[in-house]
Every structure is written in C-alpha cells, then in structure tokens.
C-alpha cells in the first residue's frame, strides 16, 4: 500500500461532512469557509508515544484522545469546533503488515469527530517514532471568546465534573493495577466539555480547561487576570474512588495537581451564580462552586476548619497549622 492509499483508506473521510469545507483531504491545502462575524479559534497539541500515552495504549483511545485534547481547548474558549488537521508520524512496524493500529486510531478519531460535527480536512503522514499532532479549528462570535484574563474580585470559581480521576487511573496503571473501566475511560477517553464551553459565553468571565491540574490551570487564570483566589477543599467535586484516596491518605494531590481531567474551570460574577445550576441541569453536566476570586495575588486552599494548605509552586506539600 502506498502512502497515498493509506491516507485514502484511513483518513480521507473522517468525521462529519460539512458544507463549509470547500476542499478537504487530497489537495495542497484545505479550503474552509469561516462565517462572517465569527473569529477562527485554533489550537494544536502533540501526543508522543511513551510521553503522553503508554506505547501499549489501545490505538482507538489514542485516536480519540488526540482529538479530545484539542476540542477541550476550543471548549475552554467558548468556541464551536468545526475542522481538524492531523500530522501523524508512524514507525515502520505500524505501516508494514497489517494496519491494525492505524485502523483503530482512525476509528477512535472518527467516533469523537462525528460526535461533535468535526471534519478532518487534511494532514501530513511521515515515518519516525510514533507521535500524533492534531490541530483543531473552531469559531466563536466576534468579541465573545472566553479568555483567561477576565476574572475579577467578587467572581465565584466553578468546575465541571469531578477532579483527579485521570490521575488516579494513571497512578493505578503505573503501579501495575487495572483501574475500574470507568476510571480508565477518564484517562484514555476524556469527554471534552464542548457544549458547556459554548453555553458559558456571556456568563463566564474567564475559563480554562484542566489539563495540567487544577492548581496549575486556575493559576493561569489568576495570573492573567491579576487576581487572587481561595478554594474550599471540601467543596471539590470528587468521584467516590478519588474521595476514598483523599480520605485515607489525607493527600489532596489528586484533585489539586494531577492532570488530564479535561474539565472546565471558570469564573462567574457572584450575582449570576444562580444561573450555574440551571445550566448544569440543562446540559446534564455537574457544575460545582469551589471558591471565590478576590483582590491580590496567589491561591489559597482551605480545609473545613479554615486551615490553609501549603501549595508550593503548583506542587502539593502539607497542611500548615494557621488560618491567616
């Protein structure tokens, strides 16, 4: 099979066929129509085998996740996803012989792309160590993009879903244990909060997706917005599995600093916080208020006694016996 046949077979018709794709896979460039009054939102991510996913990871999950991380970035901007391009570097052993890996990858990518109306419009295929780069393209009405820099004192801080599940799954796999299927799915097939992101246009003052851990990612909002935040540890939304680890170890590292959850963390003005549960119900997506924004700098996490947790440079340390 030639390179051309490979692309034709596995990548020429992935995702949804869209009217705004004038030319897709097969020419020198894709030609795409951006509606007037909309800005183009673009984000790119690379997943390297052995770094961002385990080499033995099921290819369908790699295909799914390579698109999911980009869709999560679009969601965090309030953008609607439309198109994607894919740069795939494949080692010879995945190209010669049967194409099981490529076929599985293509299936996982296709499933998620179809679920969100995204069309794969082009890419590049090369030989080398296994690595996957996906660029996503979406649209957001002019002036409506939700930036990191809009948080203001008086805002409340919210997060979708639960935190720490992907980190727990990874810790279990690394320790040689088999995570429960639902936990493994949180790591390998995270659900990008695409609908939620768009629904928060006009309500959220700032937003980010939680890919590197809550403390690090909320930290980006605080830095960009030049504000300070306090989080209530007992308000953090935890799955029973993560709750159990936190209770037994007294260690908040999983929900605070483990990555890969791809939930959305956003700020809303306090006077509009009643709209949050309405949205949660409409989208059937759990949304939890976890803290508030104030003037100043830094991030404080308090337990139910008001004691502050010591967070060193995004890392996790221990409780300090003080409440100031």
Query: What is the per-residue binding string for Mg ion in 106-125, x denoting contact by CB under 5 A?
Result: ------------------x-
**Enclosing H/E stretch for 195:** helix 194-199
Measured from the CB atom, the residue of 124 and 244 that comes closer to Mg ion is 124
Q: Total binding residues for ligand ADP by CB under 6 A? A: 13
Determine the Cα angle at 30 with ends 41 and 131, to 5°: 75
Told to check if 120 binds ligand ADP by CB under 6 A, we report yes
Determine the number of helices (DSSP H) and then strands (DSSP E) in the chain.
11, 13
Interactions with Mg ion, residue window 121-150 (CB under 5 A): 124
Task: Choose the stretch contacting ligand ADP; rule: CB under 6 A; options: 21-29, 152-160, 179-187, 196-204.
Answer: 21-29
Give me the long-range contacts of 50-58 (CB less than 8 A, separation at least 24). 53/188, 54/173, 55/130, 57/188, 58/104, 58/188
Task: Give the shortest CB-124-to-Mg ion separation in angstroms.
Answer: 4
Task: Choose the stretch contacting ligand ADP; rule: CB under 6 A; options: 25-33, 58-66, 111-119, 192-200.
Answer: 25-33
Q: Residue 232: count other Cβ atoms within 10 Å of its Cβ.
A: 16
Interactions with ligand ADP, residue window 76-105 (CB under 6 A): 86, 88
Nearest to 87 by CA among 134, 144, 140: 134
Told to check if 3 binds Mg ion by CB under 5 A, we report no
Told to check if 244 binds Mg ion by CB under 5 A, we report no
Measured from the CB atom, the residue of 26 and 250 that comes closer to Mg ion is 26
Query: What is the per-residue binding string for ligand ADP in 35-74, x denoting contact by CB under 6 A?
Result: ----------------------------------------
Determine how β-strand 287-294 pairs with β-strand 308-309: unpaired
The single residue listed with the structure tokens 């020419």 is 27
Told to check if 11 binds ligand ADP by CB under 6 A, we report yes
Told to check if 32 binds ligand ADP by CB under 6 A, we report no
Q: Residue 176: count other Cβ atoms within 10 Å of its Cβ.
A: 6
Task: Choose the stretch contacting ligand ADP; rule: CB under 6 A; options: 20-28, 48-56, 107-115, 208-216.
Answer: 20-28
| Choice from 2, 5, 17, 28 touching ligand ADP (CB under 6 A) | 28
Collapsing DSSP states into helix, strand and coil, what is residue 63? Answer: helix
Measured from the CB atom, the residue of 9 and 38 that comes closer to ligand ADP is 9
Nearest to 279 by CA among 189, 158, 152: 158
Determine how β-strand 287-294 pairs with β-strand 155-160: antiparallel
Cβ-contact 265, 151 below 8 angstroms = no
Interface residues with ligand ADP (CB under 6 A)? 7, 11, 25-28, 86, 88, 120, 122-125
Interface residues with Mg ion (CB under 5 A)? 124
């Amino acid at each position: 099979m030639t390179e051309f046949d490979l692309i034709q077979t596995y990548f020429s018709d992935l995702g949804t066929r869209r009217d705004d794709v004038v030319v897709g896979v097969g020419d020198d460039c894709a030609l795409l129509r951006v509606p007037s009054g909309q800005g183009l939102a673009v984000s790119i991510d690379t997943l390297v085998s052995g770094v961002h996913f385990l080499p033995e990871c099921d290819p369908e999950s790699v295909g799914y996740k390579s698109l999911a991380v980009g869709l999560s970035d679009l969601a965090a901007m309030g953008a609607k996803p439309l198109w994607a391009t894919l740069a795939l570097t494949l080692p010879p052993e995945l190209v010669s012989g049967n194409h099981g890996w490529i076929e599985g990858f293509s299936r996982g990518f296709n499933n998620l792309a179809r679920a969100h109306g995204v069309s794969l419009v082009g890419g590049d295929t090369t030989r080398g160590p296994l690595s996957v780069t996906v660029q996503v393209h979406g649209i957001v009405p002019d002036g409506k993009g939700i930036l990191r820099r809009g948080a203001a004192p008086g805002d409340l801080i919210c997060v979708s879903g639960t935190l720490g599940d992907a980190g727990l799954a990874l810790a279990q796999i690394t320790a040689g244990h088999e995570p429960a299927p639902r936990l493994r799915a949180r790591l390998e097939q995270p659900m990008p909060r695409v609908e939620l992101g768009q629904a928060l246009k006009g309500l959220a003052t700032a937003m980010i997706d939680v890919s590197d851990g809550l403390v690090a990612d909320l930290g980006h909002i605080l830095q960009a917005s030049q504000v300070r935040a306090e989080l209530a540890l007992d308000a953090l939304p935890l799955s029973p599995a993560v709750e159990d680890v936190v209770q037994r170890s007294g260690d908040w590292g999983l929900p605070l600093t483990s990555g890969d959850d791809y939930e959305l963390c956003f700020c809303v003005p306090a006077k509009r916080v009643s709209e949050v549960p309405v949205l949660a119900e409409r989208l059937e997506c759990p949304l939890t208020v976890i803290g508030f924004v104030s003037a100043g700098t830094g991030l404080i996490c308090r337990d139910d006694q008001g004691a502050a947790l010591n967070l060193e440079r995004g890392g996790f340390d221990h409780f300090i016996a003080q409440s100031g």
